[in-house]
Amino acid sequence: MKKENIGPFFATLQAANPRPETELEYTSPFELLCSVLLSAQATDVSVNQATRRLYPVANTPQAILALGQEGLEGYIKTIGLYRSKARHLMETCRILVERFGGEVPRTREELESLPGVGRKTANVVLNVAFGEPTLAVDTHIFRVANRTGLAPGKTPLEVELKLMKRVPSAYLLHAHHWLILLGRYVCQARKPQCWQCRVAPWCDYQPKTPAPAR
């Protein structure tokens, strides 16, 4: 994507959705961290269904620890890989209590020291909970960045670093959500809906998908 197209690309996404938000439901950095940990290879809808029952009962590291592994599994067993997620979450809660006074740390290094927290999860927490201009490259962003020519790369890290360089600073805070939503609902993996895509004029992808015949 040519440099001069990047501004209009994001201005269009911003005009359609000025304050994009995560679809995960949370009311604190700790709830967000838990929800992101639970959402690996699961849908946000399935995570929200579980956490709507879990958080009213336990939404602090201390309260989750008090549930115990089995108690926690009871709340999240509708989510894929729930056993290993419960294990990671219990361990994360223990570390949060022992090393961070029960608070979610605000640096990438500290976040990545938690079990099950990789670069992507750390970026989501930094961006969504703490308002840092980070970009967590998930499967949707990876696809959109490559397909549109915005930030082509072979690995999520390569795409992330390119996005950090190419996205104008005015759009960095919300770029993560705009790109995820674009990938989830319009620029879908199997068939991008180019015929009804707002950013088509600035996207490199060719040939654009035509509207289905009626």
Q: Is 11 near ligand SF4 (CB under 6 A)?
A: no
Pick from 87, 106, 147, 166 the residue near ligand SF4 by CB under 6 A.
Answer: 147
89 contacts 72 by C-beta, under 8 angstroms: yes
Q: Is residue 138 annotated as a catalytic residue, yes or no?
A: yes
Per the CB < 8 A criterion, the answer to whether 77 and 58 are in contact is no
Residue 143 tokens read as: 């696809």
Kindly state whether residue 148 participates in binding ligand SF4, applying the rule CB under 6 A: yes
Stretch that binds ligand SF4, among 19-27, 105-113, 168-176, 196-204 (CB under 6 A): 196-204
In b/e form, how buried is each residue of 1-24, taking b as 16+ CB within 10 angstroms? beeebbeebbebbbeeeeebebbb
Q: Peptide bond before 20: cis, by omega within 30 degrees of 0? A: no
159 binds ligand SF4 (CB under 6 A): no
Q: Does 200 bind ligand SF4 (CB under 6 A)?
A: yes
Which one of the listed residues 120, 154, 191, 208 is annotated catalytic? 120
The tokens describing 139, both together, are 């499967």
Residue 203 in the binding site for ligand SF4 (CB under 6 A):
yes
What residues make contact with ligand SF4 under the rule CB under 6 A?
A: 147-148, 186-187, 192-194, 197, 199-200, 203, 205, 208
Q: Active-site residues: which are they? A: 120, 138
